[in-house]
Amino acid sequence: MAKKVVATLKKADAGKGFAKIIKAVKNDKTGAYSFREEIVAVDQVQEALKK
């Protein structure tokens, strides 16, 4: 019989208040693009994208 350990460890609203933002940033020297990842609160997503 399987145990339900994973179901008991998961909290109700554990990761719903955050979003992961991946932005492409161009290097001025080489012209190559790199990716920058950020984890921000859902309320601040629009502000983080404006930067």
Return per-residue pLDDT of the chain as tens, 51 residues: 555 555 555 566 666 788 999 999 999 999 999 999 999 999 999 998 887
* Count of structural domains within the chain: 1
Tokens standing for residue 40: 């921000």
Residue 42 lies in domain: 16-50
> Which of 39, 45, 6 lies closest to 20, judged by CA?
39
The reply to whether 41 falls in a domain is: yes
The reply to whether 31 falls in a domain is: yes
The reply to whether 27 falls in a domain is: yes
Which own/partner contact pairs does 41-46 have at CB distance under 8 Å and 24+ positions apart?
A: 41/17, 42/16, 42/17, 42/18, 45/19, 45/21
pLDDT confidence of residue 7: 55
The reply to whether 7 falls in a domain is: no
The reply to whether 5 falls in a domain is: no
The reply to whether 35 falls in a domain is: yes
